[in-house]
Amino acid sequence: MPLIAILPGDGIGPEVCREAQRVLEAVAPGLAFEEAAVGGAGYDAAGHPLPPATLDLAKRSDAILFGAVGDARYDRLDRALRPEQAILGLRKELGLFANLRPAKLFAGLEDASALRPEIARTIDLVIVRELTGDVYFGAKGRRTTEDGRREGHDVMAYAEDEVARIARVAFATAQGRNGRLCSIDKANVLETSQLWRDVVIEVAAEFPEVELSHMYVDNAAMQLVRDPGQFDVIVTGNLFGDILSDQASMCAGSIGMLPSAAIGSGTQGLYEPIHGSAPDIAGQGKANPLAAILSGAMLLRHSLGDEAGAARIEAAVARVIAGGARTPDLGGTMTTATMGDVVLKALA
Ligand code: ATP
Ligand code: MG
């Protein structure tokens, strides 16, 4: 029986995870669930944002459903004890190097997009962002030169195996969708990007049925708002992916609607809504649980190979949105639990 680790975390994390778990239980009855504290809740329970028992559960599990972490109450702690360290620790310990972020506008939510409705309707893409390299993890430093000027540097670096493994995830993702992959870099300026492009082209030989294109990141930022419908799957490095995935999410609508996955070379993965712990609305039943519910769909698809179950959840969400179900972030008054109820009903 597949084991799903439920790590609800802080703020609205537990509220949205509860609804996602109910939906998973309804769609895939053969799953076992085990819950553990993480983030600020982990610190409160065991003195660490990623307590050993939580990490152990995560390692034993087939997939992780993660809520959100973070709360201003923990801002005064040492960096290593802050809630956000939990997610970095989990990615590292589980070898989750690829972040998958689908951006799709559900019919009826055109007003939530930052784009004009006729353009917003065409968005249906997945950004595959590399998570373990790039300027975030290269050498960093600050110094003052002899003539008193302050300098700072962050080294952008990628090794070929790091590029090859993220490229394989992206090609496989494109293979499971519409067969088009666009690799985004800045190869006209950056050595890192030239290596990136060379390696992506080499890996392309393993996926002859996927159509590969390349785009510079500045052009990609423009194309994402001008004509997002041209993209199927995008693969890019950690820095460009960070920026482009937030941009794409605003094109696709409310932060409460968008799921994500962190995966590695196996089938295990960590699934979470892109939104944070939203302390401003926690405990009030105002949180939109659809991003968490859609993260559950990604979990079924990527970690359990249950494409039919994933599609059933996505269709139910599309149905309730088309039927006018709206939490406050979408301009309505529905509560978190009621939104969960209507999705459950729409599954039937
Ligand atoms: P983090 O640093 O953890 O990403 P953040 O500061 O980016 O957090 P969020 O916690 O994502 O912020 O919240 C940003 C805003 O969006 C808040 O006003 C919050 O109430 C709202 N929000 C976030 N998630 C949801 C949701 N599921 N439903 C409704 N509103 C949400
Ligand atoms: Mg955020």
- Tokens 């990007």: give the residue: 193
281 is in an annotated binding site: yes
Q: Assess: ipTM above 0.90.
A: yes
pLDDT value of residue 348: 79
Per-residue pLDDT tens digits for 169-203: 999 999 999 999 999 999 999 999 999 999 999 99
Per-residue pLDDT tens digits for 1-15: 999 999 999 999 999
For residue 195, CA distances in Å to 138, 185, 206, 242 come to 16, 10, 18, 20
For residue 254, CA distances in Å to 52, 81, 101 come to 34, 30, 14
Residue 282: phi and psi, rounded to 5, are: -60, 145
Active site residues: 136, 186, 218, 242, 246
Q: How far is the CA of 207 from the centre of ligand 2 (A)?
A: 34
Ligand approaching nearest to the C-alpha of 255: 1
Nearest protein CA to atom 12 of ligand 1, as residue: 276
How far is residue 132's CA from residue 265's CA, in Å, rounded to a whole number?
13
Task: Read off the tokens for 68.
Answer: 């959100």
Name the amino acid, one letter, at 302. Answer: H
274 is in an annotated binding site: no
92 is in an annotated binding site: no
101 is in an annotated binding site: yes
Pocket lining for ligand 1, CB < 6 angstroms: 12, 16, 68, 70, 255-256, 275-278, 280-281, 287-288, 291, 329
254, 112 contact by CB (below 8 A) = yes
289 is in an annotated binding site: no
Q: How far is the CA of 113 from the centre of ligand 1 (A)?
A: 16
pLDDT value of residue 113: 87
pLDDT value of residue 346: 98
Nearest protein CA to atom 14 of ligand 1, as residue: 278
pLDDT value of residue 79: 87
pLDDT value of residue 50: 98
H runs (alpha helix) in 116-211: 117-120, 160-175, 191-204
271, 64 contact by CB (below 8 A) = yes
| Residue of 246, 255, 335 to test ligand 1 pocket, by largest number of atoms within 8 Å of CB | 255
Q: How far is the CA of 33 from the centre of ligand 2 (A)?
A: 27
Phi-psi region for residue 267, left (φ > 0), alpha (ψ -120 to 50) or beta?
alpha
Task: Read off the tokens for 145.
Answer: 């030169």
- For the chain, domains (ranges, CATH) are 1-106+253-348 (3.40.718.10), 114-251 (3.40.718.10)
- In total, the chain counts a number of residues equal to 348
Give SS3 for 144: strand
How far is residue 292's CA from residue 99's CA, in Å, rounded to a whole number?
16
CB neighbour class for 283 (10 Å; exposed up to 12, middle 13-18, buried from 19)? exposed
- Tokens 């802080």: give the residue: 10
pTM score, whole prediction: 0.93
**Strand ranges inside the chain, DSSP E:** 3-9, 32-35, 63-68, 98-104, 124-130, 140-144, 150-154, 180-185, 211-216, 233-236, 259-263, 269-273
- Tokens 């700072």: give the residue: 152
Q: How far is the CA of 256 from the centre of ligand 1 (A)?
A: 8
| Residue of 257, 281, 286 to test ligand 1 pocket, by largest number of atoms within 8 Å of CB | 281
How far is residue 334's CA from residue 339's CA, in Å, rounded to a whole number?
6
Partners of 154 in beta bridges: 140
Nearest protein CA to atom 31 of ligand 1, as residue: 256
Report which ligand 1 atom has the smallest distance to the Cα of 329.
29
Order of strands across the sheet that contains 233-236? 32-35, 3-9, 63-68, 269-273, 259-263, 98-104, 124-130, 233-236, 180-185, 211-216
Q: How far is the CA of 274 from the centre of ligand 2 (A)?
A: 7
How far is residue 235's CA from residue 213's CA, in Å, rounded to a whole number?
10
The dihedral through the CA atoms of 162, 231, 275, 77 has a sign that is positive
Low-confidence residues of the chain: pLDDT under 50: none
